[in-house]
Amino acid sequence: QQQVKQSPQSLIVQKGGISIINCAYENTAFDYFPWYQQFPGKGPALLIAIRPDVSEKKEGRFTISFNKSAKQFSLHIMDSQPGDSATYFCAASKGGGSNYKLTFGKGTLLTVNP
Amino acid sequence: DAGVTQSPTHLIKTRGQQVTLRCSPKSGHDTVSWYQQALGQGPQFIFQYYEEEERQRGNFPDRFSGHQFPNYSSELNVNALLLGDSALYLCASSLPGARPYNEQFFGPGTRLTVL
């Protein structure tokens, strides 16, 4: 049973465009929703994270939108750059981030064309 | 600060063999989690170690076992390897205590191939 569903599987965007990746979760006990960025040959790195008491969080060009009633959250990358080309994973955990297991989506391969 | 380090980088084993993977956490971190990332998939949680004890475990068979040492470094052992164990094995460390929403820092992983 996949608890975090991520779409699309792959995404191609032109430089300067907006990249949007969506995730849906099933477990209402989840209360921490991070997004990770992974480059080939590297481990995932935290990009941005949100808690369900906030509907939106923005850090630079990256924004998370969170819809608690729909159990959905999304990552928006504004002014996408070729250097943003990577695989993006949404994740969720309950009880906080560091001491609890992360449940990941299957990932989205983002390609930003110059 | 070297961050989370893992060894070896790559490993090739045959079915039925046993393998040990190693992880050194980021400086100041005392909690270590292990994840399995199959090709084209997201990481899946294997287990987590804190104060040298397994604190949480994911849906993995007993063939997967681990250990944490007094210096917080950790090992992942897999016995009786199957072809399906081929994956990238990731180690993540985090700050001590029960502080909420602390980041888990991932290492570069060990690529295990089972032939």
B73-96 pLDDT, tens per residue? 999 999 999 999 999 999 999 886
Residue A60 confidence (pLDDT): 96
Residue A25 tokens, joined: 């979760």
Residue B22 to residue A96: CA distance in whole angstroms = 26
From the list B48, B50, B101, the residue facing A51 with the nearest CB is: B101
User: What are the backbone angles phi and psi of residue B84, rounded to the nearest 5°?
Assistant: -70, -5
Summarize the confidence of residues B18-25 as an average pLDDT. Answer: 98
Judged by CB atoms closer than 8 Å, whether chains meet at B109 and A43 is answered as: yes
Which residues from A are below 8 Å from B41, CB to CB? 106-107
Summarize the confidence of residues B55-71 as an average pLDDT. Answer: 95
Summarize the confidence of residues B32-58 as an average pLDDT. Answer: 93
Cβ neighbour number for residue A74 with a 10 Å cutoff = 18
Place of tokens 């997201």: B42
DSSP structural state of residue B5: E
Summarize the confidence of residues B12-28 as an average pLDDT. Answer: 96
Which residues from A are below 8 Å from B101, CB to CB? 32, 49, 51, 96-98
Residue B18 confidence (pLDDT): 98
Spatial contact of B30 and A95, defined as CB atoms under 8 Å apart: no
Which residues from A are below 8 Å from B54, CB to CB? none
Tens place of pLDDT per residue across chain A (114 aa):
568 999 999 999 999 999 999 999 999 888 889 999 999 989 999 999 998 888 999 999 999 999 999 999 999 999 999 999 999 999 998 865 456 789 999 999 999 999
Judged by CB atoms closer than 8 Å, whether chains meet at B103 and A105 is answered as: no
Task: Return the residue of A nearest to B50 by Cα.
Answer: A99
